[in-house]
Amino acid sequence: MHLKAFAKKSTRSTTLAAAITLVAGSLLTSAANLWAATPITVKFAHVVAENTPKGKAALRFQELMHERLGDKVKVEVYPNSQLFGDDKVLEAMLLGDVQIAAPSLSKFQKYTKQLQIFDLPFLFKDMAAVDRFQQGPVGQKLLTSLERKGLMGLGYIHNGMKHLSAYDPIRVPADAAGKKFRIQTSDVLAAQFEAVDAVPLKKPFSEVFTLLQTRAIDGTENPWTNIYSKKFFEVQPYITETNHGLLDYMVVTSARFWKKLPDEVRTEMKKAMDEAIAYGNQVAREQEEKDRQLIIDSGVTQVISIGEQERALWVEAMRPVWKEFEKEIGADVIQAALDANQP
């Protein structure tokens, strides 16, 4: 090409490139301005009271996000099933009607069978063992078990070990036979009650108090903070301290929502969530004992402790449930949970 013509063409393409850079730059700036100008709304829905480990973790998350991102992100927390019950919240999340939830680990069976591990009776020795399992490689992998369904696990929040409450004193499995117990939507929990010849009824958390008060059911299972904050103890004269199972949570969000967030928002949100979870777990450790004592001090319900022999009867009756669900959960996952019992 002639030198003059080349110089002219090259000036034209430099001008074109500059123009493209300018347009792209201004598009990016206006996208950034757009998200800065339009706050991102994050609805966090849960079913428990605000004065519980999960309730407090949700509020801490809201606080941290406000501190760090100001008005760019608006976190709205809906406790006490105000927005959705746990039976609807995950569907609502996939539709974009709620962005964060933390259902009990017993409520995911429609989405994955693997999380059923957390419902196996008498599996974890104590909450320290639960923590080791959740933070270990298998527990962390389980956070991804919902990905095929479009959901992502962001972490685990503790509540605590469950106890049986009822209208009659329950000490040994035979005392539970024939009684109706409200359970969460979990086949493992159904099998656990069937193993002692009791009648399990899957009902939403928001209905439990009324079901107990009207004696439509005889009893239920929950950790101390739920029994106290939802006043179940006021309509249950007996609570047997069985520590027979776990009630913990997985914080979840929709993969679609998460991926669409601007990078800096996603990073801050994950950091804030990790801190809120750590705070919630500390609350769980402290509040469990406090709420237990408040229930005892109320004098309206009697807390029954069981001895080693009685405990052995419960274990013997309920342990066969492990075998029943081993295939769905995975023998290796069960083994990893058992290994976590050794510090």
Instruction: Classify 290 in phi/psi space as left (phi over 0), alpha (psi -120 to 50) or beta.
Output: alpha
Least distance CB 43 / ligand SIN (angstroms): 17
Least distance CB 145 / ligand SIN (angstroms): 19
Of 114 and 184, the one with the shorter C-beta distance to ligand SIN is 184
Least distance CB 307 / ligand SIN (angstroms): 27
**CA nearest neighbour of 196 among 319, 335, 327:** 319
Least distance CB 27 / ligand SIN (angstroms): 43
**Lookup: tokens for 309:** 């022999």
- Residues lying near ligand SIN in the complex (CB under 6 A): 47-48, 104, 159, 184, 205, 222, 226, 247
Kindly tell me the burial class for residue 74, based on how many C-beta atoms sit within 10 Å of its own C-beta (0-12, 13-18, 19 or more). Answer: middle
Of 55 and 173, the one with the shorter C-beta distance to ligand SIN is 55
Of 99 and 104, the one with the shorter C-beta distance to ligand SIN is 104
Least distance CB 79 / ligand SIN (angstroms): 10
Of 222 and 301, the one with the shorter C-beta distance to ligand SIN is 222
Element (H, E) at 74: strand 73-78
Mutual angle of helices 320-329 and 308-318, in 10-degree steps: 50
Strand partners, 307: none
Of 234 and 266, the one with the shorter C-beta distance to ligand SIN is 234
**Lookup: tokens for 35:** 């998200």
Of 80 and 341, the one with the shorter C-beta distance to ligand SIN is 80
Are the C-beta atoms of residues 105 and 119 closer than 8 Å to each other?
yes
Are the C-beta atoms of residues 201 and 103 closer than 8 Å to each other?
no
Least distance CB 266 / ligand SIN (angstroms): 26
Instruction: Give CA–CA dist 141/127, Å, rounded.
Output: 19
